[in-house]
Homo-oligomer: A and B are copies of this chain.
Amino acid sequence: MTQNQECPLCRSATENVLWRGERARVISVDDSAYPGYTRVIWHDHIAEMTDLPTAHRDELMHIVWQVERALRTCLGPDKVNLAQFGNMVPHLHWHIIPRWRADSHFPEAIWAPRPSRSDTQIAAWSSQKAALLTRLPGYHKALAAALEQSAP
């Protein structure tokens, strides 16, 4: 396995792993602002999608689609955001972020400055978020089962 001692994604000590496959793992991103935020991390220290052979690239995207599908089924977001940046950590990882119209950044990207919100809007999102948090264990269970079933 290609690893880099300096890379935090090669070490992966404190991750909340939902599923671990032969070549990739899926973790829950414990960001209280974004219930359901999930990351797919390739095990090898590889920077770009086009550095992967086709079969591995397809395998990685297949996992991303499984995450998107489970998120939609279990949490019913208004939109799903997908991103692969790696500017800070050039080790392939995909962000899969369920978004809701009421969330703290919508319709901006979650990396953008927060749009202003009224107290009523903040309270409404807080209450919606609390309800979503109760559904996370069900999502995590359904996702792990789907990945286990479809693993190569």
Chain A positions 118 through 136: 1 when the CB is less than 8 Å from some CB of chain B, otherwise 0: 0000000000000000000
Distance (whole angstroms) from the CB of A82 to the closest CB of chain B: 4
A50-B65, A72-B48, A112-B112 known; A106 and B87 CB under 8 Å? yes
State the A residues within 8 Å of B (CB).
Answer: 47-50, 57-58, 61, 65, 68-69, 72, 79-88, 90, 99, 106-109, 111-113
Q: Which of A58, A84, A87 has the most CB of B within 10 A?
A: A87
Subset of 14 A-B contacts with CB under 8 Å? A47-B79, A48-B68, A48-B79, A49-B65, A79-B87, A79-B90, A81-B84, A82-B84, A83-B85, A83-B109, A87-B99, A87-B109, A108-B111, A111-B112
Partner among B83, B90, B107, B113 whose Cβ is within 8 Å of the Cβ of A87:
B107
Q: Which residues of the partner chain B approach A48 to less than 8 Å between Cβ atoms? A: 68, 72, 79-80
A87-B99, A109-B111 known; A50 and B79 CB under 8 Å? no
Distance between Cα atoms of A58 and B61 in the complex (Å)? 9
Distance (whole angstroms) from the CB of A11 to the closest CB of chain B: 19
Distance between Cα atoms of A88 and B115 in the complex (Å)? 14
Q: Are B50 and A69 in contact, CB atoms less than 8 angstroms apart?
A: yes
Q: Which residues of the partner chain B approach A99 to less than 8 Å between Cβ atoms? A: 87
